[in-house]
Amino acid sequence: MQTNPNSSGGTQPSDLLSAVYHIEIRNEEKISAADRAFCERQQAALYETLELIERCYTVLCTEAGHYSDFFKITCEPNGRIAACARYPVSDGIPSDYRIAAFKLFDSIETFVKLNYEVNEIFVARIVRYFNDTYHVSVPKPTLDAKTLVMGFRPVYTTYVDRVIEHLGGRSFGVTAKAEILDRFLGQVRPVQWSESKPELKGCKIIFPYIVSYDNFYFKWHHCHHMSSSARSRLDTFCEGIMLGADGRLDGSRKSILGLNTDDVDLTRWYDTAVASGVQMLFFKNGRIDVKFRDAAAAESCFRRLRLHELRLPGDND
Instruction: Give 220-263 pLDDT, tens digit per residue.
Output: 888 999 988 999 999 999 999 999 999 999 999 999 999 999 99
The pLDDT of residue 314 is above 50: yes
Task: Identify the pLDDT of residue 93.
Answer: 56
The pLDDT of residue 62 is above 90: no
The pLDDT of residue 216 is above 90: no
CA-nearest of 183, 182, 210, 184 to 196 is: 210
Task: Identify the pLDDT of residue 9.
Answer: 45
CB 140 within 8 A of CB 178: no
Q: What is the enclosing helix (H) or strand (E) of 271?
A: strand 270-271
Whole-number Å distance between alpha carbons of 278 and 115 = 49
- Using a cut of 0.85, tell me whether the model's pTM lies above it: no
Task: Identify the pLDDT of residue 87.
Answer: 55
Phi-psi region of 92 (alpha: psi -120 to 50; beta: other; left: phi over 0): left
Task: Identify the pLDDT of residue 61.
Answer: 85
Whole-number Å distance between alpha carbons of 162 and 159 = 5
Task: Identify the pLDDT of residue 188.
Answer: 96
Least confident of 66-75, 116-125, 236-245, 308-317: 66-75
Q: To the nearest 10°, the Cα dihedral for 125, 127, 128, 129?
A: 80
CA-nearest of 214, 225, 264, 257 to 238 is: 257
Rounded alpha-carbon distances, angstroms, from residue 92 to 64, 88, 187, 213: 21, 10, 73, 71
Task: Identify the pLDDT of residue 97.
Answer: 59
The pLDDT of residue 304 is above 60: yes
Strands 204-207 and 288-291 come out as: antiparallel
Q: What percent of the chain has pLDDT over 90?
A: 64
Higher-confidence residue of 17 and 138: namely: 138
Task: Identify the pLDDT of residue 136.
Answer: 96
Give me the half-sphere count of Cα atoms (radius 13 Å) on the Cβ side of residue 33: 0
For 131-185, the pLDDT digits (tens) are: 999 999 999 999 999 889 999 999 999 999 999 999 999 999 999 999 999 999 9
